[in-house]
Amino acid sequence: MLDIALIGHGAIAAHVAAHCPEGARVGAVICRPGRAAAARAALGDVSAMEAVADLPTRPGLLIDCAGHEGLRAHGPAALQSGIDLLTVSVGALADPELEADLARAVAEGGATLTLASGAIGALDALRAAARGADLEVTYRGRKPPAGWHGSRAEEVLDLDALTGAEVHFSGTAREAARLYPKNANVAAAVALAGAGFDATRAVLIADPEAGGNLHEISARGSFGRFEFRIEGRALPGNPRSSALTALSVLAEIRRRLSGIRI
Ligand SMILES: NC(=O)C1=CN([C@@H]2O[C@H](COP(=O)(O)OP(=O)(O)OC[C@H]3O[C@@H](n4cnc5c(N)ncnc54)[C@H](O)[C@@H]3O)[C@@H](O)[C@H]2O)C=CC1
Ligand SMILES: O=C([O-])CC(=O)C(=O)O
């Protein structure tokens, strides 16, 4: 049995706990102070605590579903104590200090940090393309206005008055990941798999006509070129987060349980 602990108890965590595959079980959650009752209400029969050091038993896998602050607060401690960590908060690695802390903790604890593929696909092709030369990558993220509420887009646009698609960010994937911690983890995953944070271009768009969370990758290089496009449905609990993100976590759990891995 793979014993799993979660960080966070929001939309992604609740979906993961509710659909945990056979052979794995969620037994504990790390939450913010005063949130234990809310965490148990969201996840069911789990023990709730505020720090990695308070986990009742050492989990086989800790899964961060809490966002950048959750990874920053608990990731280094977990890895340093040898606990394997899977995170959806990929954009947090745009902060070079946190990335270095995590790398140091991985080396010291001998554990692994796995970055979830999240709401995007084609990371395998990007990883391979990056071994060739001259890789150029642009990522475009397009969501309906509700998907950008609570983000920097609100400072740039009047989201509720939009009559057509508007770009509210264009720059590097590093800037996107830092400015949009709840919306641009995909930009970070594309960057880390491919051309890197500073060479990957990111464009973020609010579009009242968007029927879902649209993610597009355009890549070209010595390998040739490809276009990838996905129209994701949002999770019921959070219009910002695509359902595929929670499914990518479930897929990684299954992968770990299987002797034949793809
Ligand atoms: N890699 C990807 O493709 C995607 C990544 N994400 C990331 O996942 C995060 C979570 O998404 P949702 O579940 O939809 O959000 P949510 O807002 O529904 O849930 C976030 C949860 O994390 C908890 N939390 C926040 N800070 C914490 C901390 N320091 N310690 C412990 N718990 C903490 C909150 O109390 C809440 O339970 C997003 O903020 C985003 O950064 C989201 C969508 C796609
Ligand atoms: O869930 C999505 O569609 C993408 C997202 O929020 C992120 O990249 O952080």
Question: Candidates 148, 242, 244, 247: which one to mutate for ligand 2, based on the most atoms within 8 Å of Cβ?
Answer: 242
Question: Candidates 182, 214, 230: which one to mutate for ligand 1, based on the most atoms within 8 Å of Cβ?
Answer: 182
Same domain, 233 and 250: no
pLDDT value of position 227: 98
Same domain, 149 and 229: yes
Same domain, 112 and 49: yes
Domain membership of residue 101 (yes or no) is yes
Q: What residues are designated binding site for NAD(+)?
A: 119, 185
ipTM more than 0.90? yes
**Does residue 165 contact residue 143 with C-beta atoms inside 8 Å?**
no
Same domain, 113 and 131: no
Residue 143 Cα: closest atom of ligand 2:
3
**Does residue 190 contact residue 184 with C-beta atoms inside 8 Å?**
no
Same domain, 160 and 144: yes
Residue among 15, 74, 168, 215 flagged as catalytic: 215
- CATH code for the domain in which residue 103 is found: 3.40.50.720
pLDDT value of position 134: 98
Same domain, 63 and 139: no
If one counts the domains in the chain, the total is: 2
Same domain, 8 and 106: yes
Q: Which domain holds residue 22?
A: 2-118+244-257
pLDDT value of position 163: 96
Sheet holding 47-49, edge to edge: 47-49, 24-30, 2-7, 61-64, 85-87, 113-115
Same domain, 108 and 137: no
Domain membership of residue 262 (yes or no) is no
**Does residue 114 contact residue 199 with C-beta atoms inside 8 Å?**
no
Give phi and psi for 50, each to the nearest 5.
-105, -5
- Give the separation between CA 151 and CA 143, rounded to whole angstroms: 12
Report the C-alpha dihedral over residues 144, 94, 69, 85, rounded to 10 degrees: 100
Q: Whose CA is nearest to atom 31 of ligand 1?
A: 31
pLDDT value of position 32: 98
Same domain, 102 and 156: no
Domain membership of residue 251 (yes or no) is yes
pLDDT in tens, the chain (262 residues): 999 999 999 999 999 999 999 999 999 999 999 999 999 999 999 999 999 999 999 999 999 999 999 999 999 999 999 999 999 999 999 999 999 999 999 999 999 999 999 999 999 999 999 999 999 999 999 999 999 999 999 999 999 999 999 999 999 999 999 999 999 999 999 999 999 999 999 999 999 999 999 999 999 999 999 999 999 999 998 999 999 999 999 999 999 999 999 8
pLDDT value of position 16: 98
The answer to whether 215 is a known catalytic residue is yes
Q: Whose CA is nearest to atom 3 of ligand 2?
A: 242
Q: From the CA of 146, how far away is ligand 1's center (Å)?
A: 17
> What residues does ligand 2 touch, defined as CB less than 6 Å away?
119, 182-186, 213, 232, 240-242, 245
Element (H, E) at 22: none
Domain membership of residue 253 (yes or no) is yes
Residues in the chain: 262
pLDDT value of position 51: 98
Same domain, 13 and 103: yes
Q: Whose CA is nearest to atom 25 of ligand 1?
A: 66
- CATH code for the domain in which residue 231 is found: 3.30.360.10
Same domain, 154 and 104: no
Domain membership of residue 15 (yes or no) is yes
> What residues does ligand 1 touch, defined as CB less than 6 Å away?
7-13, 30-32, 35, 65-70, 73, 88-90, 116, 118-119, 181-182, 185-186, 189, 237-238, 241-242, 245
Same domain, 108 and 138: no
